[in-house]
Chain A
């Protein structure tokens, strides 16, 4: 394990070349009730204090199960959902301070790729008009010939022929649609792409095509990615750094190889052990950490550690004290668990 540490670049070490810095970001959705006067009777703590950094040129993978707030975090970063509090810094710019027209112009630099390519492409518009829309919004379509050239080269970079321009989204297969979605994100020349479940709606044989395409584009264009997905195997394949979310907070963050080799947080362990591996010999000999109980409601999270209600290692302290995401060792791995050391060394055993 230690020979890997020298190669891996710690992400928590406070590098100055972070492209994105998210600081204690919170997105709370009010729960309203009442007919005439909308009283707020509570909040859904979708994202509840997440801090992370994404370095320029890397792929940051955010994993977690449904309801953990990973998509909301991505949308909050783009301010498609307005965060409740916290800071977002992008290449030195305080994103949350941008207003109106400033924010609109700024959007060029961060783009998004969606899960369901059909739903995210307006069915009424041809591919050309879908792609040209972004150019228009930023005044890049004035030189028609140059704009057209740009569309063609963008399509080419995602592996679609120029003849696609006149067609409509429903005329393509799922994989091709996702290529269109990626082309739309690329056409403005962004620096960061937030990809929310970019392959999970696709057939298995198509997923590899899109994963490879994202990799190729990163290499040739120097893109930075924030990939949000539930499929840990896919995320591990494409990410440099992985953050694991549970119920609105980041519970662990590590270099992609390290996370698999040395998961520290009990939830990460359970998650890793649950991912099926297409290999019967491995499957026959694996030990699974089966979680009990249900995911608590993000409107009423448990006290202390959010994972304690399902954690096989849970102790009294976990109910009182909410563990902070702390740097575990000089590898830069961060974990939010009071007993990470004890669990790792085997001093603390599961209750069962």
Chain B
């Protein structure tokens, strides 16, 4: 049984005087215990809204969340707010993009880590602080005893993200959701943080949902990758299958369009025309059709279903990129 089972999750934003906007459109995916699952897509694809909806962190007003988010046996969407708060932090940890704004600027780091332990595990302040020191050490923060007393602004970006990871992992959650955890960081620091996440996940058996726009980050980390476009999953596959043999023209185009450090230089990059705003509604066919190189008549008119593929993933495309035949 999957640890997290997201079924037909939809988020519709509705503000007074504006047309309702479907940010997440019946997204389904599952996360097995210990598995690392990626949600990849560009701005506006709904990846971050999905994570916020799972955690129940969307603003209470102005949106409608439907579907199911089953964590083990409970539907998180049906939990009362206080029960959900108990789950957050204890069973599910979360890491955000901007570590500075995710930490309280006026509380010393040690207390921020300790608080989680006090709240969820009923530890005393003293015991919690002692454990916090161990946690900071575990996420590679040097001189943790001194750092405990420091405030977030005294740390570098990378150290802050480590501290945030320490908080997220304090109660040994079974699921960790990381929303663009390295986007704000420099590439050498990103490499450190990714290595740390990988190590922690491997050691503790925590499942990880990795949300990112960076295909490179996904390639080295995720077991399964979901590619989102305009609020829907368009392709799902194991990372080797996805990167080695992308079937959806969007996935294929994205992979072709990023310059690779290890590839031959020069020449033009493959480009996807138009912008992420040039969509048609899913009800009218495939949202990607206006930008797609492989568009055919069947792409327009009625919605394209997400169908399982022979390799254990799923694909939402009428005219997929042909599968490479092994020579």
Contacts and interface: CB of A to CB of B under 8 A. Distances in A.
Is A in direct contact with B (CB under 8 Å) within the complex? yes
Interface of A: 65-66, 173-176, 203-209, 211-212, 215, 230-234, 236-237, 256-257, 260, 270-284, 286, 288, 290-291, 293-295
20 contacts: A176-B275, A205-B271, A205-B272, A208-B257, A208-B258, A212-B268, A230-B186, A236-B261, A256-B265, A276-B216, A276-B220, A277-B260, A277-B261, A278-B215, A278-B219, A279-B260, A280-B243, A281-B240, A281-B244, A295-B156
Contacts of A204: 42, 213-215, 254, 257-258
A208 B262 CA distance: 17
The winner among B156, B188, B213 for most chain A CB atoms within 10 A is B188
A277 B262 contact: yes
Contacts of B243: 278-280
Interface string B225-255: 0000000000000011001100000000111
A12 B240 CA distance: 42
B275 A271 contact: no
A334 B269 CA distance: 29
Given A204-B213, A277-B216, A278-B255, A173 B260 contact: no
Interface size class of B (residues with CB under 8 A): 35 or more
Given A237-B265, A275-B187, A295-B156, A206 B275 contact: yes
Interface in B20-78: 42-43
B258 A236 contact: no
B260 to A, nearest CB: 6
B167 interface: no
B271 A232 contact: no
A284 B260 CA distance: 16
A66 B244 contact: no
A237 B216 CA distance: 16
Contacts of A231: 187
A66 B219 contact: no
Contact of A283 (B158, B192, B219, B272): B219
A272 B260 CA distance: 11
A204 B190 CA distance: 18
A203 B43 contact: yes
Contacts of A276: 190-191, 194, 214, 216-217, 219-220
Given A207-B258, A209-B271, A280 B239 contact: yes
Contacts of B266: 237
B277 interface: yes
B188 A270 contact: yes
A-B residue pairs, 3 tightest by C-beta: A276-B216, A283-B220, A237-B259
Interface of chain A, helix or strand or loop or mixed? Answer: helix
A211 B270 CA distance: 10
Contacts of A209: 271-273
B320 to A, nearest CB: 18
Nearest to B158: A294
Given A204-B254, A276-B194, 15 more contacts: A173-B276, A175-B275, A176-B275, A203-B42, A204-B213, A204-B215, A205-B253, A233-B259, A233-B260, A237-B265, A271-B188, A276-B214, A276-B220, A278-B218, A282-B219
Contact of A236 (B42, B213, B220, B265): B265
Nearest to A294: B156
B191 A280 contact: no
A230 B189 CA distance: 13
A106 to B, nearest CB: 33
A207 B265 contact: no
B195 interface: yes
Nearest to B253: A205
A262 to B, nearest CB: 14
A278 to B, nearest CB: 4
A203 B276 contact: yes
The winner among B43, B217, B254, B257 for most chain A CB atoms within 10 A is B257
A79 B126 CA distance: 56
B272 A208 contact: yes
B259 to A, nearest CB: 4
A297 B148 CA distance: 22
A205 B42 contact: yes
